[in-house]
Amino acid sequence: MADTIKEKISGDSKDLEPPVKKQCRVEDSADLTDLASFQTQRILSCESRNKTLVALGSLGATDDRCLLILEKKPFEAETFDKLCTASTTLKKVFRNDVYGNYECTLASDVNAVKATVIYPASDKHIQKFETQTIHIVEETPALYTSVIQPFLEKEQLNLQWVYNILDHKSEVDRIVSEDTDPSLGFVLLPDLKWDGKDLKSLYLLAIVRLTNIKSLRDLTSDHLPLLKNLYNKCTSVIKERYDLPSSRIRAFLHYQPTFYHLHIHFTYLQYDAPGIHTERAHLLTSVINNIELLSNYYQVATLPFTLKESDKLFSVLKEKGIV
């Protein structure tokens, strides 16, 4: 990609030829330095509330689909002084009495946008990011075992990124804490959604070492030592490292999750992080309490979850008259 640009600048005979898009492989996408090779097919969502745009496209000449997620970063009070320079320009929109309204352009070094690239992207990835009509499904234990579980086993997303983290093959330098015990252990690291810097949007992920717990549905009193160990150690590391006590942290699980390997989300309580709504988030402390009251609580409870109309599971449930 960068090579393609260099070739254009060098002014050799290649300038006369139509630009050739370079073939991209998965490894190349990890080292993207610009977006010249991104060819947009469709905008999947554009949200003003969380200032995010998700585009579907391809990279270079490949047919593989690529998701590009761009998100405007929050301001940081600590670095505000850097914004007040001549490089920050103001263009007047209007003035009225004491009120001035301007379009402000920031210098590029303080105007970075968080970009996430998923490449190659599967149908499931695309569906996850596309704005869609959603429904709540009340999942009884019987519905789970007869329809949902068999469906999920066939359709679930690849967990290679999870194993790469647990095996120290990826994101090693991002690990905040880990416990190597095979049954109580976990890895705590910044979530893909967090840049690791701005505490007001703190978002960490604890991935358990055990590979046989798919989701909340599988948890029983056998897992209490794991859940308590994880909660106590993660909250104490967060206190030490980020000076945030457990009372200022939201520790929760998603049901249904996107990835079926047990993991716990830790976010700053005052951050309206994505996925914290009542129809999806279950506080870890409540989960522990429910299991303490009834060991098989999550096997006998009806658990609601949300489903997009475009999801294959929606069609399956519709055929059966469940939604």
Give the active site residues. Answer: 263
Q: How many residues sit in the footprint of ligand M7G (CB under 6 A)?
A: 14
Phi-psi region of 243 (alpha: psi -120 to 50; beta: other; left: phi over 0): left
Nearest 5 degrees, angle CA 244-CA 247-CA 250?
A: 85
Residue position matching structure tokens 């150690």: 233
Q: Is 257 in the site for ligand M7G (CB under 6 A)?
A: yes
Question: Which residue number, 144 or 305, has a Cβ lying nearer to ligand M7G?
Answer: 305
**Binder of ligand M7G out of 192, 199, 283, 294 (CB under 6 A):** 192
CB of 189 to ligand M7G, least distance (A): 5
CB of 4 to ligand M7G, least distance (A): 27
161 residue type, one letter? W
User: Segment near ligand M7G (CB under 6 A), from 15-23, 25-33, 62-70, 191-199?
Assistant: 191-199
Q: Is 60 in the site for ligand M7G (CB under 6 A)?
A: no
CB of 258 to ligand M7G, least distance (A): 3
Q: Is 32 in the site for ligand M7G (CB under 6 A)?
A: no
**Binder of ligand M7G out of 35, 141, 161, 269 (CB under 6 A):** 161
CA separation for the pair 300, 29 (Å, rounded): 44
User: Segment near ligand M7G (CB under 6 A), from 12-20, 190-198, 219-227, 311-319?
Assistant: 190-198
CB of 157 to ligand M7G, least distance (A): 8
**Binder of ligand M7G out of 151, 163, 242, 259 (CB under 6 A):** 259
Q: Is 275 in the site for ligand M7G (CB under 6 A)?
A: yes
Binding site for ligand M7G (CB under 6 A): 161, 171, 189, 191-193, 205, 254, 257-259, 263, 265, 275
